[in-house]
A and B are shown apart, each in its own frame.
Chain A
Amino acid sequence: MERIVQVHKPAAIGMKRWGLVVLGVIGAAALPLLVNSYLTSVLVIIGIYCITTVGVSLLMGFAGLVSLAQAAFWGVGAYATGVMAVSFGISPWLGIVLGVLLSGLLAFGLGWITRNLNGHYFSLATLGFGIVLNIVLIEESEWTGGSSGLSGIPGLSFGSISLSGDTAWYYFVWAIVLLCLFLCRNLVHSGWGRNLRSMHASQAASESMGIHTGRYRLQAFVISALFTGLSGGLYACYMSFISPAVFNFDMSIKFVIMAVLGGLVSIWGSLVGVVVVTLLVEALRQYVPVILQDSSSGGAIEVIFFGVLLVAIMVYLPNGIMGMFQKRKSNMRVNAK
């Protein structure tokens, strides 16, 4: 069987697909009116995670690099915003921008140092960076508040109108998510994305065709850190309280799971993965105490759950949820012939 590759031409999306998109947008816009404020806040968090996983799936799915430092870049974005606002009174808007730049700068440095590392070696190096950064967050307590966390981070406001309430945050965050998805989608479907994917398939051939693979790798890593830094800054402002425990290795793994579960074959997969994982975690939080008659929030259960989930994905859904849909679609096409 030959698989016909869809030509990536956003302009060529059929009317039917546009219809679906419009329906989806209307549905999403109406969502906070239909659910309670707890669920709305979960949806805000999902949006914030999405901005990170867009970068993760760009890096994993298209460049073939597994970074275990994403929680660290997320932390850099969050703490840069938080510390600057709390200690120096800098506007959180500026703080977010600086946090994004700082994330990107650190990624550039780390990416440069690890430019010759491939596969697992790269992952291990990023893992080390993540751990070191987490320690810095805990130890530099003068600025970061140490392990007890940093509180009192101001929220965002547009002029005199402050962004308050989960519903307002929902619209704000999801507008940014859509923008990020749009930018990333354009990027991976451009010549840039093609060159990046070629490197993933054969670095030797890619180099021989004049592609400076090292440059692409570094760019992909920095871009993913920029997105992640943005996500961190938004997280800090939304939560108003951050602590190092959130930005640890477990979170990096969680980001990877979200991207893989959604499917690395498409940028949209990151969105699907975040929704599924976050909703599962929330369900776990609700029902585990009920089943186990335990007042704990089920932290240990969560670890076990993610372990099992990761194994199950690898065995049954190696291409993630989006991959499953694409396969079904192409099978249908074959049967129709």
Chain B
Amino acid sequence: MTEALLEFQDVTKSFGGVIAVNNNTFQVEKGKVVALIGPNGAGKTSTFNCITGMYTPDAGEVRYNGEKINHLKPHKIAKLGIARTFQNLQIFTNLSVLENVMVAAKETRKPNVLSSMLRLPGIRADEERARKLALDMLELVGLTDRAQVLANDLSFGEQRLLEVARALALRPKLLLLDEPLSGLSREEVNGMVALIQKLKKDGLTIFLIEHDLSTVMEISDHIIVLDFGSKIAEGKPDEVRSNERVIEAYLGRDVKKQYEVPESKREDREPILTLKDIHTYRSTIHALKGVDLQIDKGSLVAVIGANGAGKSTLLGTIAGQYSPKQGTIFFENKAMEKLPAEIVSRMGINLVPERRGMFAELTVEESIRLGAYPRLDSLLIPANEKRRIEEEMEQMYQLFPRLKERRRQLAGTLSGGEQQMLAIVRGLMAHPRVLLLDEPSLGLAPLIVEEIFDRLYQLKQSDMTIILVEQNAKAALQIADYAYVLENGRIKLEGLPQHLLQDSRIRDAYLSSH
């Protein structure tokens, strides 16, 4: 019997009427890798926040090494040896990679102001020790050669690694990882998994939140499952996998959705959007290097590819956010590559951005109504138009009933999945001719991803044109009519989804186990 490093006893935390953590009791044993899984909004990150002192539990006890830590401030808890990473990266973007890690070093945590002003030898020695430690941590995660780069300029995957290096520089006994694999490419996932396994071997206790279940099953000793704030199951990976309640709440019934797949590209369709030799620069990066694309009216086109392939830049270029240096974009035979974003949006090309762009202080209903404004000429809405908006909102609620239940809730308090639904609905309210979706499945639980993709399929059936950018290639290819594979700013492959699904190159790069 190993001893518990972290104990949760009857911990409850609620916000207003919403219970984020509901009377939970569990333990994290020393030296183990423990995973916390559950649908979006299940209270996983809230649980982490109760451990790190960002939230103070309303009731119950959080014990670390047998010591009660409920009422300690975050920095005190960090000093005890609990380090964390963040789901939505919290990199110090104004510091270099090395400096980011140095912040966590104990040696320079509380330097004397006067000695720092005078650069006394003691201060310089501490600084040197912190630098050494930080370099060691960077080496551990494989970012040594990026040490002097501004942290903001790292790729997404590198920033995730940086967060881990920074947390390790605290020399923690307990490491909390909040969705460390989310948004990583397959290759990056493998690197992170190897790192986690190495840390475990070195004796570190790891408690992690993750949606990538196959990886969770592979690396965890113990899994705790949450739903609506309550623990619904825990145990070894195999036990959890076969638990009825877990399957119902999280994985969904194992009924493979059957989507109708097109046999060939339909010839009767006319192109609505055509890109020819598009080159786009983001600051000085040549992000798109001559992209040709043809989108037929009423089709759902998937664009897949790894992080940094240029997928978001592609959507941004179509939406008029970035103006291409070279090439043309035709929208119904009108050149539009020089038009600014607001005009493009009024023409009926609407982008649902990657991070959803919520207005946290508006209610769900207000947010949806806001979506209708781009198509109106004035803010004085005639009565018949008002009625139509109400009718459409009702349709939207039918599409996503969850949103109806939450219509009076502030958008900022929705779970990730609900925010994604709201973002899609908001885009639809503008009556788009072409809907651009950037990573709608990012950071969402499998069941919700399925629900959202189901709706996208429904929209496609109602003859909407959709461009879907996704890392979750498997899911995207299931509902698409046609697909493009983007790599390093170029179209590497294109074709019918069922052909791509069988292509070994695609399978190796994007589909394995995800």
Contacts and interface: CB of A to CB of B under 8 A. Distances in A.
B148 A7 contact: yes
Interface residues of A, number: 36
B384 to A, nearest CB: 41
B487 interface: no
B116 A204 contact: no
A334 interface: yes
Nearest to B104: A209
A190 to B, nearest CB: 4
Nearest to B176: A208
A225 to B, nearest CB: 13
Interface in A186-235: 186-187, 190-195, 197-198, 200-202, 204-213, 215, 219, 223
Given A187-B117, A190-B123, A195-B103, A4 B149 contact: yes
Interface in B73-95: 73-75, 78-79, 83-84, 86, 90-95
B32 interface: no
B127 interface: yes
A211 to B, nearest CB: 6
B113 interface: yes
A201 B109 contact: no
B91 to A, nearest CB: 7
A133 interface: no
Interface in B98-132: 99-100, 102-104, 106-111, 113, 116-119, 123, 126-127, 130
Nearest to A211: B75
B92 A210 contact: no
A215 B311 CA distance: 43
Residue among A186, A191, A197, A198 with most chain B CB within 10 A:
A191
Given A7-B148, A201-B94, A207 B127 contact: no
B99 A194 contact: yes
A294 interface: no
A207 B73 contact: yes
Nearest to B163: A205
Contact of B106 (A3, A207, A210, A215): A210
| B interface residue count range (under 10 / 10 to 19 / 20 to 34 / 35 or more) | 35 or more
B372 interface: no
Nearest to B96: A5
Interface string A261-275: 000000000000000
A234 to B, nearest CB: 19
A51 interface: no
Given A4-B148, A194-B102, A212-B110, A202 B92 contact: yes
A193 B95 CA distance: 11
Given A191-B127, A204-B86, A208-B83, A197 B285 contact: no
Interface string A1-17: 11111010010000000
B150 interface: yes
Interface string B45-61: 00000001110000000
A191 B111 contact: yes
Residue among B53, B99, B126, B153 with most chain A CB within 10 A:
B99
A55 B38 CA distance: 49
Contacts of A223: 113
Interface of B: 52-54, 73-75, 78-79, 83-84, 86, 90-96, 99-100, 102-104, 106-111, 113, 116-119, 123, 126-127, 130, 148-150, 152-153, 166-167, 169-170, 283-285
Interface of A: 1-5, 7, 10, 183-184, 186-187, 190-195, 197-198, 200-202, 204-213, 215, 219, 223, 334
10 nearest A-B residue pairs (beta carbon): A191-B108, A5-B96, A205-B90, A210-B78, A190-B116, A207-B74, A1-B284, A209-B104, A183-B117, A201-B92
